[in-house]
Amino acid sequence: MRISTTTKDYGMLHLIVMIWSFTVILGLFISIPPLEIVFFRTLIASLFLVVLFRFQGRSFRMPIEQGLKIFLTGFIIGLHWILFFWAARVSNASVCLAGMATCSLWTAFLEPLFKKVSIKMYEVFLGLIVIAGLLVIFRFEFDYWLGLSMAIGSAFLAACFMVINGKFTQKHSPYVITLYEMVGACLFTVLFMPIYDLLLTEAGLNLSPASMDWLWLIILALVCTIVPLSISIDIMKRLSAFAVNLTINLEPVYGIILAVLIFGEKEKMSSGFYLGTSLVLLAICLYPVFHLIKRKRKSRQLRTLQ
């Protein structure tokens, strides 16, 4: 039985999401603060990609204008990751991942703006279900409002760069895009360091990871960054940003299960939290149903016109 390209893409997407769900766990394993994690993560990823391109004899040059746009997109990715890891530190992995599930809501509004097409009402409806889930979480877990708010902000930035990447994928290699974005994200952390050191931390910068931190940082940079980000960029040539981000909303489900298994009681939440997260999962399950209905309706309309 031949497997369709779309089925393969969704299968790879779910594998990527499972890898990404482990990212927040690694962030809690590493002892240095969030900004420093992102700095080393992007630095290691950038250096590895440069060496890989040189070893393979491949060029990563591109027109200056396009390269600058992709490079600046890395700034968005850098801030997204800083908020992501920070959210986990001030709350816990489960709350951080629940906030990240709002990617679909943000994408439902951002993608039509970027592509200059009308907003699909069913995407807005699914986004509203996600909001309802978050309101339930806020009601039962208000002590974690700061972490959840940071995670929601991180999700907005994730939606921004996923939609932007949807345009880049048509012209450039996923690995070249990843390289430029990692360099951009790394530079952003460097530029942000003085503000962070002056206003956001009393302990000062910590650019001396512990010996075990290096192992986790390498895994974070290579296994949880270069491979899944490059594959997701390639998949966006064929799937919409909304479809990708809605599937990525499974990250909380996988991540929360992993967090409970690894951290035990610290990650166990109230019944209200799991009710809210279930609403998010409902939106994920409903998306392919609505999408299929729309495709069949459009197909019938085309047959009628013929």
Summarised one tens digit per residue, pLDDT across range 220-274 is: 999 998 888 778 777 877 777 667 766 776 777 788 888 888 888 777 788 888 8
Contacts 24+ apart (CB under 8 A), 5-12: 5/238, 6/238, 6/239, 9/235, 9/238, 9/239, 10/239, 10/247, 12/231, 12/235
CA-nearest of 225, 216, 257 to 94 is: 257
For 83-115, b/e burial (b = at least 16 CB within 10 A) is: bbbbbbbbbbbbbbbbbbbbbbbbbbebbbeee
With both helix axes pointing from N to C terminus, report the angle between 145-168 and 121-140 in degrees, rounded to the nearest 10: 160
pLDDT of 82 > 90? The answer is: yes
Q: Summarize pLDDT for 162-209 with one digit per residue, the tens.
A: 888 877 877 778 888 889 999 999 999 999 999 998 988 888 899 999
Domain count, the chain: 1
Question: Residue 171 carries which DSSP code?
Answer: T
Kindly report the average pLDDT of the chain as a whole number.
Answer: 85
Q: Nearest 5°: phi and psi at 61?
A: -75, 150
DSSP string, 100-156: HTTHHHHHHHHHHHHHT-PPPHHHHHHHHHHHHHHHHHHHH-GGGHHHHHHHHHHHH
Q: Summarize pLDDT for 59-73 with one digit per residue, the tens.
A: 888 888 989 999 999
* pLDDT of 1: 44
Q: Summarize pLDDT for 2-39 with one digit per residue, the tens.
A: 556 777 888 888 888 888 888 999 999 999 999 999 99
* pLDDT of 268: 75
Distance in angstroms (rounded) separating the CA atoms of residues 93 and 252: 9
* pLDDT of 249: 67
Which residues constitute the domain of residue 43?
A: 5-305
